[in-house]
Chains A and B, each alone.
Chain A
Amino acid sequence: MRSPDVGRFAWGALRGYPTRTLLMLLAMAIGVAAVIVLTALGEGARRYVADQFSSLGTNLLIVIPGRAETGGATPGTLMGETPRDLTLDDAMALTRSYRVRRIAPMTLGAADAAYGRRQREVTVIGTSHELLALRRWTLARGRFLPDIDIDMASPVCVIGGKIRDELFGPRPALGAWLRLGERRFRVIGILGSEGRSIGVDVQETVMIPVASAQQLFNTPSLFRILVEARSREAIEPVRQFIIDTIRHRHQGEEDITVITQDAVLATFDRIFGALTYAVGGIAAISLFVAGILIMNVMLVAVSQRTAEIGLLKALGAAPRQILALFVSEALLLSLLGASAGLALGMAGSLLIRQLFPAFPAHTPAWATLAALLVSVLTGLLFSLLPARRAARLDPVLALSGR
């Protein structure tokens, strides 16, 4: 028997029972579409997070006071000592490496902001001129904090768009004097960037020079220091440089934590990668279910078509040919179902991308391949049992309908 004839015969058999064929196609298609769409969602989430992180700025290192280590305690914590504060001097010391492109110290606090009779609580970030470039932010109006020494206070501020809307309304904000606590700051710029920083919506912050913030909140300590390395390769040496420098300045205590953006990103990457595998696997179970359905329906088909099988044997079909016919039928079914599912799944992910443009729901190639492979393999596997039953039928009994 020639393979095109096998295919034609199998196709004819499928068309001969349209209801059962359509049902099985549907089951297979839904399974494959589920894998495609769910992995697209997982992959979308992964890329979304990656995008968010890279919008933080590249080659970024974050210096946080205190030692965040799970293994073993440092002598300092054993002695019940609280970690030393990060200071502006520490921050300035970090500029003394050619591998460091720029740094931006940060303090954080809450204050009441008022303009005229309008008032609200805002998050105040004390930082420096460099933060704008470091975070790849843009300004909607005006300019960012002035390029002055970081230990210099200056009564100026840059406000987020939302603050502007809420405190100034239709009145011009640039050049106006904003009241923060007991002090007054002149608005010199309005942030245009979306995005979040350290969990705070940038649009709802007011930024002032770090020295001014330290006066405002009456504290010499920094919340953290952001450091940008000159290149990706420089990240590790810079990390070491930061640790060495601060330890030296803190009398040999290593009481800071340096987070590299890469490490954080890699962690998220792993989490979302695993998530994608997991949902892909869960969806693959539906393919398995479709396979079991195929097996069931094929078993019914074998008993329905007993006489036909007996006849084929009488006409000279060897057991292997009968096997090939039924397996081809199942394979054809899973291939058609998988193709339909592929189209359905791709349309689904396209729809998601259209509805949520920020969410890059692209099915990874491995998932597409795996879905097709699994559907074809289940079709093959689950048709083997019914096909073997057909191949082993006794032709005399099959023909007599006994």
Chain B
Amino acid sequence: MAMIELQGVHRDFRVGEQTVHALDDINLTIRAGEYVSIMGPSGSGKSTLLNLIGLLDRATRGRYLLDGQDVTTLDDVAQAEVRNRRIGFVFQAFHLVPRLTAAQNIELPLILAGVPREQREPRVRRALEAMNLLERAHHKPDQLSGGQRQRVAIARATVNEPRVLLADEPTGNLDRKSGRDVIDILESLNRHGITLVVVTHDSDIGGRARRRLHMLDGRIETDHHPDGDRHA
């Protein structure tokens, strides 16, 4: 069952007179529950691909089916709803709102979804519990360590129980130990069924994924697949 299906996807950026082909004819199918890592040199289009999968960006050309539904043609409001319900994001820079506590940061997707207050509390609590952050619930981000902040971000990304979790360099701002913890958490989420896509520079981390994509110049160069390698 294909969760993510990209068909002939291009993403061009116009910079003055020049056109940068950040993504160049990407064809990619990721099945539900897969664990995929994306590696490649800087500027090869990894983040662009992830943003496109996460509906933060639109393809210049091509089709994108999410869970069988064509999402390329959705309007802003419908795309926002897909982001809210079906996709979780984890960023290198955590992106926690500094004035909000850990619990309030985690609550944000539920607030945006219009979940009533009394239903939000138990869900936030469960998410905090799952990340082992209960006693940090009322701490502001600047009172948390990097690893804790990224765990808050993961709790926030998963509180709405999305089917897909996208992580762009999730360990990039962390030391090795915290980075390992974060990867462990992501992998355990994947074991529980979430479709996980991780962009990373770290070949140790990238190597842990069952499926490993290597990008170069906006193309998928190699696609190491558990069912036998394929070359794109």
Chain B CB within 10 Å — which of A315, A395, A396 has the most? A315
Cross-chain contact of A396 among B56, B80, B100 (Cβ < 8 A): B56
Q: Are B108 and A315 in contact (CB under 8 A)?
A: yes
Q: Given A318-B77, A318-B81, A396-B51, are A313 and B114 also a contact pair (CB < 8 Å)? A: no
Q: Given A2-B116, A13-B99, A396-B56, are A312 and B83 also a contact pair (CB < 8 Å)? A: no
Q: Are B112 and A307 in contact (CB under 8 A)?
A: no
Q: Are A2 and B108 in contact (CB under 8 A)?
A: no
Q: Are B112 and A316 in contact (CB under 8 A)?
A: yes
Please encode chain A, from 302 to 338, with 1 for each CB lying within 8 Å of some chain B CB and 0 for all others: 0000011011111111111100000000000000000
**Chain A, interface SS category:** helix
Q: What's the nearest-Cβ distance from chain A to residue B46, in Å?
A: 13
Q: What's the nearest-Cβ distance from chain A to residue B113, in Å?
A: 7
Interface: B89 (CB within 8 A)? yes
Please encode chain B, from 84 to 121, with 1 for each CB lying within 8 Å of some chain A CB and 0 for all others: 11000101010101111000100011011110110000
Q: Which residues of the other chain, B, contact A319 by a CB distance below 8 angstroms?
A: 76-77, 80
Q: Which residues of the other chain, A, contact B81 by a CB distance below 8 angstroms?
A: 316, 318
Q: Given A320-B77, A396-B51, are A315 and B112 also a contact pair (CB < 8 Å)? A: yes
Q: Given A2-B116, A321-B112, A396-B57, are A12 and B80 also a contact pair (CB < 8 Å)? A: no
Interface: B40 (CB within 8 A)? no
Please encode chain B, from 107 to 137, with 1 for each CB lying within 8 Å of some chain A CB and 0 for all others: 0110111101100000000000000000000
Q: Are A318 and B56 in contact (CB under 8 A)?
A: no
Q: Which residues of the other chain, A, contact B104 by a CB distance below 8 angstroms?
A: 12
Interface: B54 (CB within 8 A)? yes
Bound together, the chains give a CA A318 to CA B160 distance in angstroms of: 16
Bound together, the chains give a CA A308 to CA B109 distance in angstroms of: 13
Q: What's the nearest-Cβ distance from chain B to residue A16, in Å?
A: 4
Bound together, the chains give a CA A319 to CA B111 distance in angstroms of: 15
The residue on A at minimum CB distance from B113 is A316
Bound together, the chains give a CA A41 to CA B76 distance in angstroms of: 53
Cross-chain contact of A315 among B82, B83, B99 (Cβ < 8 A): B83
The residue on B at minimum CB distance from A319 is B76
Interface: A217 (CB within 8 A)? no
Interface: A275 (CB within 8 A)? no
Interface: A399 (CB within 8 A)? yes
Interface: B156 (CB within 8 A)? yes
Q: Are A1 and B83 in contact (CB under 8 A)?
A: no
Cross-chain contact of A312 among B76, B108, B113 (Cβ < 8 A): B108
10 A-B Cβ contacts within 8 A?
A2-B114, A311-B95, A313-B83, A315-B112, A316-B81, A316-B112, A316-B160, A320-B77, A395-B57, A399-B93
Interface positions of A (Cβ within 8 A of B): 1-2, 4-5, 9, 12-13, 15-16, 307-308, 310-321, 395-396, 399
**Besides the known contacts A316-B83, A321-B80, 5 further A-B residue pairs in the complex with CB atoms under 8 A apart:** A5-B117, A312-B108, A314-B56, A318-B81, A396-B51
Q: Which 5 A-B pairs have the closest CB atoms?
A: A316-B84, A16-B99, A318-B80, A316-B83, A318-B77
